[in-house]
Chain A
Amino acid sequence: MSEHINNREYRQKLLKELIMELHDGKDFDEVKAKFEENFKDVSAKEITEMETQLVVDGMPVEEIQRLCDVHASVFKGTIEEIHAIRRDEDTPGHPIHTFREENKLIQKLIDEQIRPHVDAMEENDKVTVDLAADFKDLWEIDKHYGRKENLLFPYMEKYGITAPPQVMWGVDDENRDLIKEVRELLKNYQYARPKEEVVEKANAAINGVEEMIFKEENILFPMVLDTLNDNEWKKILEESDEYGYFFFEPKVEWVPKAVPEESMEPEVQGVEGYVKFDAGFMSQEELNAMLNTLPLDMTFVDKDGRVKYFTQGKERIFARPKTIIGREVSNCHPPASVHIVEEIVEELKSGKKDHEDFWINMGEKFVHIRYFAVRNEQGEFLGVVEVSQDIKPLRDLTGEKRLVE
């Protein structure tokens, strides 16, 4: 029979026969032996083709699904090995591969160190030094959570998946707090000796961390794999190093397949009035309103010295009539100060300076006026932006007001 093995069509026909025999209730081991003899190197692709052929031949899809279970057990090793190579997320370097490797390391830290140490602590408290080191290591989970929250979640939100990230971020923060609390308790241990409290909090922390691993592996990862495209994974990959990893150095073997640009940012494509930035995009309406909301006044003068734009903040420091738009800046200043203005512009334009700052008292206000040269990525001069702000309220600040006390 082996002389026929190179014949693809024959091979597929035989494969199909074997599956049908299985389906008809023929002895499992007998079929399995026949399979192993003939199909040592069968590829998952061929099995998929065979399934497709069976459907084409008129077999109901439900029957195929039943078959899947049967042949999966026969072909187990073979299929799993092939699938492992085929799937992007199982290739080192894919962000999901990295997340999963980290989860394994987190679980290992819990199983091999933290749990034994917490258990030992219930007997005696000599292990506090070990436990302190364990929780110092566990705190590195902050990097894993950070990548998830800052790199994965924004893409999910872009696709309208907003509720799960919100809930998950909250739980991440609870875990962070628990880890911090345990570290704090251990630091002050000599004095307060709150043994039961340490054990209780440590258990709560590792339970929380384990629960999050389960959620990520079973829900989050399948969901994002189903949603994000390769360009998005590539961006996540590129930004990952900045956040760091949980004791893991990803080897980048994964090469994303290019996805056509139009599928990347569907809501921007074809929608007029969007302005694209180095990071993100905004509608003209959002951009205008945002600039008017900033607590400062901005005026932009282009490279030819013409006023092109100024913000419409609620409390303007210097009056600016809209009629100055398009006028040369030298015409907008009193003759006595024109030569100073021109000198500043020249210095910014030539690259001699990047900014020039002034600060003056104006009644109740203390006004900071700054002129910046605006240059593009190639360093070419595009114009000058004037930023003026009443910094009296800032100068008056003392002490601190924190988001979380």
Chain B
Amino acid sequence: MEKVLSLKETVQSLTKKYPEFPEIMKELGFENIVDPKMIATVGRFMTVEKGATMKKIDLEQIKKTFETHGFRVEE
């Protein structure tokens, strides 16, 4: 199955689809994301795009990292 990372999809939805998603995000510097309580609450509204703006983490870096994990990144 093709893995698609949509930058506007919620963290909660992405975690449901791809169990490895939070760990990759953690590697990128989003430390709080592996907490299931955070995914269940904040994760309903947080997207990768918003997270990048908030944490000032380079979106290009995020895209590259996910691509190396076999994802196709969708704007």
Contact = CB atoms under 8 A, between A and B. Distances in A.
A215 B44 contact: no
A164 B53 CA distance: 18
A219 B37 contact: no
A214 B32 CA distance: 16
B40 to A, nearest CB: 9
Contacts of A167: 32, 38
Interface of B: 32, 35, 37-38, 41-42, 44-46, 50, 53-54
B41 A161 contact: yes
B41 A222 contact: no
A124 interface: no
30 contacts: A161-B41, A162-B37, A163-B35, A163-B37, A163-B38, A163-B41, A164-B38, A164-B41, A164-B42, A167-B32, A167-B38, A211-B54, A214-B50, A214-B53, A214-B54, A215-B54, A218-B45, A218-B46, A218-B50, A218-B54, A219-B42, A219-B45, A219-B46, A219-B50, A222-B45, A223-B41, A223-B42, A223-B44, A223-B45, A226-B44
Nearest to A222: B45
Contacts of B37: 162-163
Contacts, number: 30
Interface residues of A, number: 13
A162 B46 CA distance: 17
Interface of A is mostly: helix
A222 B47 CA distance: 13
Interface string A155-194: 0000001111001000000000000000000000000000
Task: Please give me the 8 A-B residue pairs with the lowest Cβ-Cβ distance, nearest first.
Answer: A163-B37, A222-B45, A161-B41, A219-B45, A218-B50, A164-B42, A214-B54, A164-B41
B53 to A, nearest CB: 7
Given A163-B41, A164-B41, A215-B54, 8 more contacts: A163-B37, A163-B38, A164-B38, A167-B38, A219-B45, A223-B41, A223-B42, A226-B44
A226 B35 CA distance: 21
A219 B41 CA distance: 9
Nearest to A219: B45
A215 B41 CA distance: 13
A211 B54 CA distance: 6
Contacts of B41: 161, 163-164, 223
Nearest to B54: A214
B47 to A, nearest CB: 9
A226 B32 CA distance: 22
